[in-house]
Amino acid sequence: MALNVSDPYRPRIGLTTYYQKAAWGVWQADAAILPGTYVQAVVAAGGTPVLLPPVGTDPTVVELLDGLIIAGGSDVDPEQYGAEPHELTRSQPARDTHDIALTRAALATGLPLFSICRGAQILNVALGGSLIQHIPDVNPGAAQYQPAPGVFGRVEFTTAPGSISDELLGPQASAPCYHHQAVERIADGLRVTAAAQDGTVQALETTAGGWVLGVQYHPEQNPDDLRLFKGFIEAARNYRQERTENLVDVHQHV
């Protein structure tokens, strides 16, 4: 099918994936996988998904992207923030290394960055912050965040005025959630821009400017509310346009 050049540009969005045992048809083997809700949300919001498995990590891949999503998944290895593992912590160290490297590369280049659930924790850890490894240890009423295995909870939160969260969602919002860990010590360079009533951090943004948003909840699980994804795709499109204009400028002055 021929490309319709009149179509608006669909930003290329990198999404990190799992790499683990999976099954399809008659096969069962290690595979790069990602819940389809992430891919569907990116497409519905106007982007082109590009999957980035945690194998052969190359942080320079961010130069080919217009935006990056660090997806949810397993617990972050506490070794990354100098803690001993909790008995319920389940990590995938290779994925941590991959996601942290891509997160730092995105921050260094100004690439729009959308970090979801585990991704928000990766963002905090990548910049020197720490995590609560099991929320019920410090908040016995935290069952709402992970009601049962494979069952999403729902969290209500308020947003900080003037933040990306506030701009896209308004002063209050709710979203699906599924996590037993949470942000503890906030890394330098980040600020809390959304929190639940019990104080659990629900969103982080950078203090250095640019489009960087880490959310503890799962917006991709609510296909009827794509406000965050649409805001992210718009930022990715603007990033692409600015980068293109800068390249043209450089070539004109060579």
Catalytic residue positions, numbered: 117, 218, 220
Q: What is the residue type of 249?
A: D
Which residue intervals of the chain are DSSP H helices?
Answer: 36-44, 93-109, 118-126, 164-169, 227-252
Tokens of 157: 């939160």
37: exposed, middle or buried (Cβ count in 10 Å: 0-12, 13-18, 19+): middle
Rg (alpha carbons) of the chain, rounded to whole number = 18
Residue 71 · residue 38 · CB < 8 Å = yes
Q: What is the DSSP letter of 80?
A: G
CB atoms within 10 A of CB 71: 26
Q: What is the DSSP letter of 245?
A: H
